[in-house]
Chain A
Amino acid sequence: MPDRIHLKAFGMLAEKMGADSLEIENPGSSEVLKQQLLAQFPELKDMTFRMALDRKLLQADTDISQGQEIALLPPFSGG
């Protein structure tokens, strides 16, 4: 079975990545995923965002297992 994970992006991150929901190959950990995303979408380097694994905010580099969901969460300021 292929080792894949779900990726969800919000706000400006979804705009920059061109999609708000993707299925990707499991990079193994949240930090590896982040580096992959920054390489693929250089505009993300200048953007503040947090990551959540299965809807829990990550505090540090964390292993990702097959089928888990990572969310990329930028801050919103509008009102």
Chain B
Amino acid sequence: MDRFERQVILPGFGSEGQAKLKHASVLVIGAGGLGCPALLYLAAAGVGRICVVDGDVVALSNLNRQVLFGQQDLGKNKAQTAVRYFQEKYNDIQWKAIPEFITVENAQELIFHYDVVVDGSDNFPTRYLVNDACVLLKKPLVFGAIHQHEGQVSVFNQGPGSCNYRDLYPNPPAANEIPNCAETGVLGVVPGIIGSLMALEVIKVLTGLGKPLTNRVLYFNSLNSQSYEVEIQPSAATAVPTSWSDFEQRNYELASEGIAQLSWNEAMKLMGHEVAFVDVREPGEEPILECTGLVKVPFSILTSQLDQFEEAEEILCFCQTGGRSQKAAQLLQETYPDKKIFSIRGGIQALKS
């Protein structure tokens, strides 16, 4: 008997299904609210080779849903911490941790080596980037995302005639229509359910069990416990890049009208006397940045704090990934049309990597 006995005796799965999992490899992008539960079940099921990609570190506010981590892990890289946890638990799996964010530069090399990709990221730029790279590499992509009490799951790019994310939403939404990641809130069990469904879809894709959610999107509402399935079809006019050089030239940042975005290098050069340097993240978001001239004005209270920027000639905003800071910059620009206001591209995560 081995640790897979209870699934090997399942009709339609059997030792063939188990052998397929053992010889399969999965790349999990993001060890967050979706990635943690997905990893738990992929590892328990015996997928042979698993790689976790995440450049983020564990913060206290993650612990209600990122169930692989505990209080002893605060400040540690998520990919490395997750892999360390699993290495002790299951030594029959080949583990790899990539403590970086997926980017236009590393996407091809990272995805190339795996059979299936799991998108457990938490932002549109990454979702579009991962989708496009998977289309170019012809890799099945198990997609899951949540909004408060709701989630959606699908399987993209599983063979010819299979949809990808751009068949559903051809282009990313603008920065100003996206809810603020630190403010929308989530009960941990909701990404727990969606992440578990994602693990299930991976197992179905790898073993041929049942019918994966190819060309279907499943919506789940945790408040009324209803699910809703929508049939989708490949679109003739696709916005997916046609080549790697096209991919590399794409700007995956979200567009925000009229707000200039700066890199950290460009921002550093601007810093000085008349420049307000503003962290718009909420208290408790990691990593904490401390430096002279930095003011902290959480986005949630920015509207009541606008007058404190009267003296500044220029204002530089940043947040965790660059979404909220664009909204903050837009708000400031509406209040102070004559000031130069910038948002730092990629937020604090771009500074770390």
Contact = CB atoms under 8 A, between A and B. Distances in A.
B146 A76 contact: yes
Nearest to A78: B146
Given A20-B221, A46-B177, A48-B177, A75 B169 contact: yes
B169 A79 contact: no
B178 to A, nearest CB: 7
A73 interface: yes
A73 B35 CA distance: 24
B181 interface: yes
Given A46-B176, A55-B228, A78-B122, 9 more contacts: A12-B147, A48-B173, A52-B231, A57-B230, A71-B230, A76-B151, A79-B33, A79-B122, A79-B191
Contacts of A12: 147, 179
Nearest to B230: A52
Interface string B81-125: 000000000000000000000000000000000000001111110
B193 interface: no
A59 B219 contact: no
Contact of B169 (A10, A20, A48): A48
A77 B34 CA distance: 11
A47 B173 contact: yes
A79 B122 CA distance: 4
A52 B144 CA distance: 19
B174 A46 contact: yes
B233 A78 contact: no
Interface string A59-72: 10000000000010
Contacts of B275: none
A35 B147 CA distance: 25
Contacts of B232: 57
Interface of B: 30, 32-35, 119-124, 127, 144-148, 150-152, 168-169, 173-174, 176-179, 181, 184, 186, 191, 217, 219, 221, 224, 228-233, 235
Contact of B233 (A47, A59, A79): A59
Interface centre among B122, B169, B191 (most CB of A within 10 A): B169
Contacts of B124: 75, 77
B150 A10 contact: yes
14 contacts: A10-B228, A11-B150, A46-B174, A47-B173, A52-B231, A55-B231, A71-B230, A76-B145, A76-B150, A77-B122, A77-B124, A77-B147, A79-B121, A79-B122
Interface of A: 8, 10-12, 20, 46-48, 50, 52, 55-57, 59, 71, 73-79
A19 B71 CA distance: 39
A46 B179 CA distance: 12
A77 B145 contact: yes
B235 A59 contact: yes
A4 B336 CA distance: 48
B230 A73 contact: yes
Contact of A79 (B30, B177, B230): B30
A40 to B, nearest CB: 18
B168 A50 contact: yes
A78 B184 contact: yes
Contacts of A55: 228-231
A77 to B, nearest CB: 5
B178 A77 contact: yes
Given A47-B177, A57-B168, A59-B233, A75 B221 contact: no
